[in-house]
Amino acid sequence: MFHISRWKRAAIASAIALSAALATPSLAATTKTITAVMHSDLRFLDPIITTAYIQRDYGYMVYDTLLAMDSNFKIQPQMADWKVSDDKLTYTFTLRDGLKWHDGAPVTAEDCVASLKRWGKRDGMGQKLMDFTASLEATDAKTITLKLKEPYGLVLESIGKPSSVVPFMMPKRVAETPADKPITEQIGSGPFKFVKEEFQPGVKAVFVKNTDYVPRKEPPSWTSGGKVVKVDRVEWITMADAQTAVNALQSGDIDFMEAPSFDLLPVLAANPDLKIDVLNKLGFQTLGRMNFIHPPFDNVKVRRAAFMAMNQKNVLDALVGNPDYYKICGAVFVCGTPLASDVGAESLTKGDGMAEAKKLLAESGYDGTPVVVMAPGDVVTLKAQPIVAAQLLREAGFKVDLQATDWQTVVSRRASQKPDSEGGWDMFFTNWVGADVLNPVVNASVSGRGKNGGWFGWADDPKLEAMRDAFARAGSPEEQKKIAADIQKEVYDQVIYVPLGQYLAPSVWRKSLTGVLDGPATPIFWNIDKSE
């Protein structure tokens, strides 16, 4: 059994005491509260303006969606049902009864239209849907009508997508915030309410049960079905030190830990009061992304040299360690799926590209410009990648400026298009859940839209965008597979991004929690009950 050192116990006690002190005294003894340590602390409160998963997780607490995906990958009604015209050009969505915003106002179709339009400016799949959209309007208080320019087979999959960026519904006045500006009001219609008065960025975030929420009648399945809240409060407590969080979980000071370090799993498995499980069975793809608009990675030859230097096994060994939890995989659209391909991935998966990397860099005209690599140290699933990559880049002949930071700073800084001398960056690393990279339309990393709505890094590749459009129009799985392979070749030729393998990330919780749901975007806090 692990014993908590004096300073670690003090840190835990401080975090828990802070929660208790800020809670209403009369409720502290009677409320049923889940205390969780998430994979990252929460600082920003706009789930549409960023792809960071902690904002997505926050979004599922506070907001709701028109449609949702079940465990069979089927789109189901959530806030709305739908019908499609015979010519496949008109989609009509009808809001269900009982929908209210947290301030008591009814949810209207105008709210949802504004929300879809703002989402459609930020999300890659939303952008593609809007490219095919002729009009989107509220035809009455409960009816949303979407008309297409031509048939588009991913309408429902876009609006019901389960992960970043999720089309969460917001009041019209909030959704009309410019798409490049963060919202300033946290009013949703979801199963929890955000307690702004108790929010301390980097310390804790608090959510309380929305007693006015009317769940659907169907059983929960992934992000679909009835969102029945069985506790009074959920508190996300920041504990950047993994060992401190593990000790708090074992002592019962916290209930749930989303992403424990892999090397601590054997210790947790030995505790009979804890349950360990992989909630996201699709797993994660980890990846590196370069900045296309400034030297040195504005030069494709330099990008190619960096690509050839990368080695999936080195990254996965450092990140995960245990091969039971990782897979070397060169498929841009995830191994084990219909669109999986190994085209162009040989050096990544075999780890034999270093000699070619040195040769390409020497031929590229690289002038020794330092590569600024952002290295967050506070997220266990993002610590290893930049360190390993920096070592490989240096071996290939790059000068590397590895800058230690935290993940929320990366989330903010990666949106900057300024040069390195003004606080910019050249490379960062992140993880996508499998659901976010399954095809060329949902996968934001393969966007070629450049500064015109492209993902951070701003790859400008009209050929890639044309192929993504062709995939969206494809009439058969065989045609989709061929186009996807062509897209993967372009991704690797131009080094649009660097897939660094797949892994599973177990979560752990005390057995006093029951009803913990799995899904493609986890954790989900509805349906969880807590016994004394």
Tokens for 438, please give them.
Answer: 């399954």
Delimit the domains of the chain by residue range: 6-47+189-274+507-530, 67-175, 284-503
Q: How confident is the model at residue 30 (pLDDT cuts 50, 70, 90)?
A: confident
Polymer length in residues for the chain: 532
CATH number for 6-47+189-274+507-530: choose from 3.20.20.70, 3.40.190.10, 3.30.830.10, 2.102.10.10.
3.40.190.10
Per CATH, 67-175 and 284-503 having the same topology is answered: no
Question: What pLDDT shows up at residue 5?
Answer: 41
Q: What is the mean pLDDT of residues 194-200?
A: 97
Q: H-helix or E-strand containing 315?
A: helix 312-319
Q: How confident is the model at residue 29 (pLDDT cuts 50, 70, 90)?
A: low
Strands (E), 149-293: 192-194, 204-209, 233-237, 256-257, 274-277, 284-290
Weakest mean pLDDT among 55-59, 185-189, 375-379, 518-522? 518-522
Q: By C-alpha distance, which of 38, 18, 37, 36 is closest to 28?
A: 18
Query: What topology does CATH give the domain 67-175?
Result: Dipeptide-binding Protein; domain 1 (3.90.76)
pLDDT for 92 beyond 50: yes
Question: What pLDDT shows up at residue 4?
Answer: 38
Q: H-helix or E-strand containing 36?
A: strand 33-37
pLDDT for 327 beyond 70: yes
Q: Residue 230 and residue 251: Cα distance in Å, rounded? A: 23
Question: What pLDDT shows up at residue 1?
Answer: 34
Q: By C-alpha distance, which of 22, 529, 512 is closest to 254?
A: 512
* Segment 264-290, tens digit of pLDDT: 999 999 999 999 999 998 899 999 999
DSSP string, 146-173: EEESS--TTHHHHHT--SSSP-B---HH
Q: What is the CATH number of domain 284-503?
A: 3.10.105.10
Which one-letter DSSP state was computed for residue 193?
A: E
* Segment 141-158, tens digit of pLDDT: 999 999 999 999 899 999
Task: Determine contact, residues 204/18, Cβ cutoff 8 Å.
Answer: yes
pLDDT for 396 beyond 50: yes
Question: What pLDDT shows up at residue 204?
Answer: 96
Task: List beta partners, residue 275.
Answer: 509
